[in-house]
Every structure is written in C-alpha cells, then in structure tokens.
Structure 1
Amino acid sequence: MKLKDRSYLVTGASRGIGRGCAIELAREGANVAINFRSHPEEAEEVADLVRKAGGKALLVQGDVSDQKAVEEMVAKTAAEFGKIDGLVSNAAFSDRQNIVEADMDGFRRTIDVSMWGAFYALRATAQQLIKQGTPGSIVTVSSPHAVLAIPTSCAYNMSKAAIDHMSRTAACEFAKHGIRVNIIHPGWTDTPGERKFFSEEQLDEGAKKLPLGRLGTTEELGKMITYLISDDASYMTGGTLTMDGGVGLPWWSNRAEGEP
C-alpha cells in the first residue's frame, strides 16, 4: 500500500492505459479521480474497480482540451479528497493521415487533446500542489512517436515530442517545490484505441512481429506508472522509462536470411 492516503487525477481513465493505471494506483491504496469525456458506463466500471481495490473514486467528466474544464477537475479532486498528490496525464487523441491529405479538423483535435490537454493538466496540478505547499508526482504518458517519425501520424508525433520537452522543462521548474515529473513511453499496447486503426487480424499479425511477440497490457503499463508516481522513484525526475516490447530496437534487422 505504497500510495495509502494519497490522491491522484488520471486523465482519459475510462479505457485503455488510463483504466489500467487507475486500478493499479487503487491497489496501492490511492484515491483516484477518473477523468473521462465519453464512455460514462466504462468510467463507472473503473470507479467500481477502484473502490473494490480499496481506494475512493471520483468521476470527473470533461474534455482535457478545455483549459477551464481541466482546472475545475483538478480543483474538484483536491476538494473531494482533501488534497491532490499528483497526476497521470494520459488522455490522448489521434487522427492518422498523410500530411498533404490531412483533414485539418482532425489534425488540430489531435494536438488540442494530446498536447494542450497534457499541458493544461500538468499546469493546473502543479498550481494546486504549490498552493497546498506539498510535494507531488506527475507522470506524462507519452509515446515512442515522440522520437520515431511514424508516417501518417504527424500531429500525434508532434504532440508527443512536445509533451516530452514540456515534462523535462517542468521537472526543472518544479523541483524546488518537491514536485517530480517523469515520462513513460508505452509501446504497442492492447487497448480499444488501437481498434480505430487496425483490425483484430492486423493486431494479431503485427504483434507476432515485435521482438517480444505480443502487445503490451494495460496492467503492465499501470504497474510501471505506479512505480514512477510512488516514492520508489523518489530520486527520479525529468526521466523517461520505455516499456515498448522492444519496438524501438532494430527488430527488422533480425529477420531470417531470405525473408523480405
């Protein structure tokens, strides 16, 4: 119970990595504010699982691309639980098209959610922690897209590269307040969001080609994020942990002779 009596906001927590993170935080004793924009039934299910794991749950609906909404959800978290101890900035959106063919509404939506949403959440959480006069821990869920120029993902690549630098800058500025900021790069993970781009057959076949031969799980990512946000990582700030199943390795060079 390394997070007993601590309270965290997790953005985008109704599904995928955010869901796995909320549940793992609760298993370590934390109270969790579960942010969601849509999927209210799934958010309620996450809240039930948080309570069953021993934590208190708070549902906070809101679009992270709305600065005022984010500031209100941080304030509500602190009011409900008596304080806030940190943030998992996880909410993201991605439309994928070639640059010259990109629908600009989807392009801007990707940046508004994945970059500005992360900034609003980090800024509001830090302001609340400083107001409280308490230390805290923030984890930014980024991506290998921050360093890999993956085609058709320009807006998402831009957003993730930006929030990596944002997080390192924040780590510099917030250290004097006892606020740690770290980054995680999840690889290809088995989440509902992947079904937007790939069929089940494509996911199965693609996973087999990865160095570890499978997709990551939200539970695995939740455990890594819980480590980063806890005192187990108390001497780590401005760092990046990668849990990607080896996708960043030159796995394509390990094919058998004669394979394409």
Structure 2
Amino acid sequence: MTLEFAGRSVLVTGASRGIGRATALALARQGADVAINFWAADDIQQQEATDVAAEIESLGRRALLLEADVSDKASVDEIVAQTVETFGRLDHFVACACYSDRQRMLAAEMEGFQRTIDVTMWGAFHGLRAAAAQMVTQGQGGSIVIVSSPRAFMPHPGSMAYNMAKAAVDQMIRTAATELTSERIRVNGIHPGWIDTPGERKFLSEAALARHAAELPWGRLGTADEVARAILFMLSDDADYMTGSFMKVDGGISLPMWAKKNG
C-alpha cells in the first residue's frame, strides 16, 4: 500500500482531539495539506487545535484552522469554501465531529438529546453534502470517510440519541455512495470500537476505563492512531474499488457476547 497523499487537500471535522486529530496528523505525514475543523467550547480545545496545526506545519505541510459548529449548515458550507480558497481544491473529506450525552430515554434532557443528533447526524450530513458538491464541481472524483460506530447496530442503553444518529449515518453513507458513483466519488464508513480518547473521560474515571477495557474481547481500548490508519486506507487510491463499505476497528466489541475476554 502506498497511502500517498502528496499534493492533496483534506478537510477533517472534529480534528482537535481524538480520532480526528490522529487522522489529520496521519494525513500530513503522508503529504496532505489539512484543514482542521474544531469547535472551541473552551480554551483547551482552542489550544489543542492550534497544537495540531503547528505539528502539521512542522511536517512541511500546510494547515488551516477552521472553527465552526458542524451542526450549522451555513458554517459547514463556509469551511469547505475556505478550504478550497486556501488550498485550491478539496480531494478528501473526513467527518469525525460528534457529540454525545448519555442518559436513559425516560430521564434524558432533551437539549442534550437534540444536540447529540444535531452534531452527530446533521453535522456529518452537512459536511458530506458540501464536500461532495465541491468534488462534483472539480470533476475529478474524490473520497470521503464518515466515522460511524458499532452503536449504529448495537442498541447500547443510555445512548439512544447517539445510537439513532449513527444508525442514520450508516444509511446516509450507503445512499450517498449510490448517488455519487457516476461522479467517481467514493463514500465509506468506519466503525471504531471503544477507543481511548479524551471524550471517554466525560463519562468514566481512569479506573473504570481500565476495568471495562480488560473485559473487552481484545483486552484493551483501541487507539486513535489505529483508527486513523484504517481511515487513510479507505481514503487512498489503494481502496479505489471500495465504496458504500464499512470497516470495523473495534477489538471484537461487536462480536457475540461469548467472545468476551476469558469468556
């Protein structure tokens, strides 16, 4: 596999941390110029995005910081336009941005429930639509990867909004892939399992994470870099015959319950 992205332009949403950050950096290492979308909910996330840009530039590639709430269509249209204005074109798009509140349905606060769907589902759709439209205008094809989740088909309790959003994202990927074949634009999805990212600390302590990780079939949490490597393959020319497909990088979490470690 070549995984060659020299001279190509990529927009990654949710790129200040976690899977988005790892993907942005991996793309830069392979020669891509990267537009880094982030949402600065606090000073920490602003600094994280700045650090990603600095690291990309240290690799000799161009970086573009784009603060935007992906749930807002106009904002997403604008960051795609800014990417093209700065880099001259858009070759690849990766939708990593998501949001999740975890509450059982009957106790769920609807503001957080709605925000989860707005960012996780609509954010992915706005990015997919705007990126695909730009690629159609360019007339040279392209490739898109949307980060989904095993929760699209595993109804984990306490995550109804997130489960719903990811199930919709999976069908969105299949439909977009079908509609865009004539434009030579590939659309694929990835199902990361339980990945060790800063977002997990919103819900669990380090001790709880370690305890649950040991119970997984593979006996540990996945890493953002492992997911990023799979995303790069799906974006690359090596995956030219792959569209409307899904790749699992989940350490066996979606296997039957009897596959649990020491089960």
Give the alignment's TM-score, normalised by structure 2.
0.95
Q: Hey, what's the Cα distance between the residues in 2 that align with 1:253 and 1:182?
A: 27
1:253 to partner: Cα distance: 5.4
Partner residue in 2 for 1:240: 246
1:130 to partner: Cα distance: 0.8
Q: Hey, what's the Cα distance between the residues in 2 that align with 1:127 and 1:199?
A: 42
The answer to whether the Cα contact below 8 Å between 2:218 and 2:261 also exists between their aligned partners in 1 is: no
Q: Secondary structure at the match of 1:4?
A: coil
The answer to whether the Cα contact below 8 Å between 1:65 and 1:112 also exists between their aligned partners in 2 is: yes
For each residue in 1:136-183, what CA deviation from the matched residue of structure 2 results, as whole angstroms up to 9, or x when unmatched?
000000000101000000000000000110011000001100100000
Q: Hey, what's the Cα distance between the residues in 2 that align with 1:102 and 1:67?
A: 26
Trace 1:99-178 onto structure 2 (pairs within 5 A): 99-178=105-184
For each residue in 1:111-152, what CA deviation from the matched residue of structure 2 results, as whole angstroms up to 9, or x when unmatched?
000000000000000111111112100000000010100000
The answer to whether the Cα contact below 8 Å between 2:9 and 2:87 also exists between their aligned partners in 1 is: yes
The answer to whether the Cα contact below 8 Å between 1:221 and 1:243 also exists between their aligned partners in 2 is: yes
1:52 to partner: Cα distance: 2.1
1:187 to partner: Cα distance: 0.4
Deviating more after overlay: 115-124 vs 207-216: 207-216
Trace 1:51-130 onto structure 2 (pairs within 5 A): 51-130=57-136
Say whether 1:213 aligns with 2:219: yes
Is the alpha carbon distance of 1:245 and 1:24 closer, same or farther for their aligned partners in structure 2, counting shifts above 3 Å?
A: same
Q: Hey, what's the Cα distance between the residues in 1 that align with 2:131 and 2:260?
A: 44
1:55 to partner: Cα distance: 1.9
1:54 to partner: Cα distance: 3.1
The answer to whether the Cα contact below 8 Å between 1:21 and 1:222 also exists between their aligned partners in 2 is: yes
The answer to whether the Cα contact below 8 Å between 2:252 and 2:259 also exists between their aligned partners in 1 is: no
The answer to whether the Cα contact below 8 Å between 1:64 and 1:70 also exists between their aligned partners in 2 is: yes
1:255 to partner: Cα distance: 6.4
Unmatched runs of 5 consecutive residues or more in structure 1: none
Partner residue in 2 for 1:10: 12
For each residue in 1:61-120, what CA deviation from the matched residue of structure 2 results, as whole angstroms up to 9, or x when unmatched?
000001000000001001100000020011000001111111000000000000000000
Q: Hey, what's the Cα distance between the residues in 2 that align with 1:23 and 1:118?
A: 20
The one-letter amino acid of 1:224's match is A
Q: Hey, what's the Cα distance between the residues in 1 that align with 2:60 and 2:140?
A: 24
Say whether 1:19 aligns with 2:4: no
For each residue in 1:184-217, what CA deviation from the matched residue of structure 2 results, as whole angstroms up to 9, or x when unmatched?
0000001000001111001111111111111111
Is the alpha carbon distance of 1:256 and 1:11 closer, same or farther for their aligned partners in structure 2, counting shifts above 3 Å?
A: closer
1:32 to partner: Cα distance: 0.4
Q: Secondary structure at the match of 1:174?
A: helix
Q: Secondary structure at the match of 1:34?
A: strand
Give the alignment's TM-score, normalised by structure 1.
0.96
The answer to whether the Cα contact below 8 Å between 1:210 and 1:251 also exists between their aligned partners in 2 is: no
The answer to whether the Cα contact below 8 Å between 2:219 and 2:261 also exists between their aligned partners in 1 is: no
Partner residue in 2 for 1:48: 54
1:49 to partner: Cα distance: 1.4
Q: Hey, what's the Cα distance between the residues in 1 that align with 2:156 and 2:53?
A: 35
Q: Percent identity over the alignment?
A: 54
Match of 1:202 among 204, 208, 212: 208
Root mean square deviation of aligned Cα? 1.2
Partner residue in 2 for 1:36: 38
The answer to whether the Cα contact below 8 Å between 2:217 and 2:261 also exists between their aligned partners in 1 is: no
